Structure 1
Amino acid sequence: MLTVPVRQLGESERRAVERLLDRDPYAGAQVAERVAARGLAWWRSEGRILGYGNRRNLESICWLGGNLTPVLASEPAVDAYADLLASEERLCSSIVGRADAVLGLWDRLRGHWGPARDVRANQPLLAVDRLPELPADPQVRPVRPHEVDRLFPAAVAMYTEEVGVSPLAEDGGRGYRRRVTDLVRAGRAYARFVDGKVVFKAELAVVTRRTAQIQGVWVAPEWRGRGIATAAMAAVVRDALIRVAPTVSLYVNDFNLPARRVYARCGFRPVGTLATVLF
């Protein structure tokens, strides 16, 4: 029997949730963006935010929607979340968050939710709060709304390469195209174009008052090995720090050594380790 029950949180506990998210601004960024945009009442229709701890001392939260994301989840919190979720059908497409919590959840849920398509157990979480010292590529800029058709094939290629499945599979890509279009309209998609084609791209996929989180970094295959990524990333980081948020963050697969070298040159430092379980 659980001595500290897991419960679904509502709008009355929003400030407690925000205080908790401020304690982990990088790993909890995706959840923080959703809370800031729609509050906690939104979870009733598009997801749930679960809390661990009594009402006077919220210790951890867990977002359950398209992704399952534990935030500041201790081992007892992981046990409590797993006890609840094991009785439910899996609806999420991934589990992502701090590695200890994600791998702990997966160890307890694999017998109920398995098998996973991939488990990425070591993804360094990096952040930077200073402008890069190295020169930025002046040709990297925010994508303009009329350039979505040029950006979209590169976005599909990146997603397929990174995740291992095509974003076009489920609904012909309509949902993914809406997401790409929204990022462009918000000034959060960057690219370098050569002869009308994208040779580098990246997005500020998550933006909070604490950080802008870069995802979707991609260099066209024929341009790899030419050394364009470092200056291109420096341009993205510079613009994001000046225009968007006080820090920039991202996470990367541990085996992607070329990307990790690029990020180190741009001033990123380790702030933790994430893990992702993909279904």
Structure 2
Amino acid sequence: MNVFVDSLVQASGLDPRRGAEVWGYVEKGEIEALCHAGGNMVPVGADEAALRSFAAYALRRGRNCFQILGPARAVEQLWTALEPQWGPAREVRDDQPFMVIDGPPTIAPDPLVRAVEPVDLSILYPACVAMYTEEVGVPPQTGPDGTFYRSRVAELIRAGRAFARIEDGKVLFKAEVGSVGTGVCQIQGVWVDPSRRGEGLAAPGMAAVVEMARRIAPVVTLYVNAFNTPARAAYERVGFRTIETFATILF
């Protein structure tokens, strides 16, 4: 199962009153594919028939998500069916390498990267907003999930899944483990202070995050925009390898 969907199902079950649904595509009495439908729309294990079914159901329900994400082939086929009514998208990112590491990092970790404490929320939160705005193109306060963004950051801190290098009350590097599934977790929100980029903070910082993340789950994943060459190079230095291509449709 997709680690994002697995994480949400483990945390919230399948109760739609908790903010999202998981749709199933059934053939011969067996569930063959899933689609998480909440703020994110995420197809899982879906072939063409399942994607057509999910698209038809989504069109009847109307758009509630702010992005569609997942394996590129599935997202592109889903979007082909949805675009006439849901389009235009604000942005289509159709080449996002999905990367994984299942062993120790291949470079030394930054010893100054640590788990963020609850007392550090006011320091970390502005960096999270800056990362989100840079990555998504709009600040979280204006998106459908904006009301909950600060509480989500606080939740990750309490869970021991937010990591940063903080000096003189300022975040220089940060990343979070956003999703935890069965034996696998996913890193999100990787960010380096713009004034410190080019100094080599990202790769050792990520090595430290991988070490700590692997205490949560032994397999660590992430996905990145193909055009973000510096980030991809940093992840490869740490030992990440690309195993699939993702895509994201942003509204």
Q: State the Cα deviation string for residues 156-199 of structure 1 (Å, max 9, x = none).
A: 00000000000122589541100000000110000001211001
Gaps of 5+ in 2: none
After TM superposition, the structure 1 = structure 2 runs for residues 15-26 of structure 1, keeping only pairs within 5 Å, are 21=1
Residues 277/173 of structure 1: CA separation in 2 closer, same or farther (3 Å cut): closer
Q: 1:133 to 1:29 in 2, by over 3 A?
A: same
More strand by share: 2
C-alpha distance in 2 between matches for 1:114 and 1:172 = 20
Change (3 A) 1:141 1:55: farther
2:232 paired residue number:
260
Tell me which residue corresponds to 1:38: 12
Deviations 1:20-40 (A, max 9, x none): x2xxxxxx1111011112222
* Partner of residue 72 from structure 1, selected from 19, 41, 45: 45
SS in 2 for 1:53: strand
1:33 maps to amino acid: S
How far does residue 133 in structure 1 lie from its aligned partner after superposition? Answer: 2.4
Whether the aligned pair in 1 keeps the contact of 2:12 and 2:18 (CA below 8 Å) is no
Higher relative contact order (CA 8 A, sep 6+): 2
Letter in 1 for 2:39: G
Asked whether the 8 Å contact 2:39–2:145 carries over to 1, the reply is no
Q: Are 1:29 and 2:3 matched, yes or no? A: yes
Which residue of the partner structure matches residue 250 of structure 1?
222
Which moves more between the two structures, 47-56 or 30-39? 47-56
Distance 1:171 1:162 in 2: 16
RMSD: 1.5
Measured in 2, the distance between the counterparts of 1:144 and 1:209 equals 25
CA displacement at 1:53 relative to structure 2: 2.0
Structure 1-normalised TM-score?
Answer: 0.87
Paired residue type of 2:45:
L
Structure 1: 5+ residue stretches without partners: 1-20, 22-27
Cα deviation, residue 50, structure 1: 1.0
Percent identity, aligned pairs only, is 49
State how far apart, in whole Å, the 2-side matches of 1:101 and 1:173 are: 27
The amino acid across from 1:180 in the alignment is V
TM-score normalised to the size of structure 2? Answer: 0.96
Letter in 2 for 1:272: E
Residue 159 (structure 2) aligned to one of 179, 186, 195: 186
**Distance in 2 of aligned mates of 1:248 and 1:170:** 28
| Residues paired across the two proteins, number | 251
Could you list the structure 1 runs, at least 4 aligned residues long, displaced by more than 3 angstroms after superposition.
170-174
Match of 1:225 in 2: 198
Aligned: 1:273 with 2:250: no
Q: Which amino acid aligns with 1:64?
A: A
- Establish whether residue 102 from structure 1 lines up as the match of residue 75 from structure 2: yes
- Name which of structure 1's ranges 169-178 and 80-89 shifts more when overlaid on structure 2: 169-178
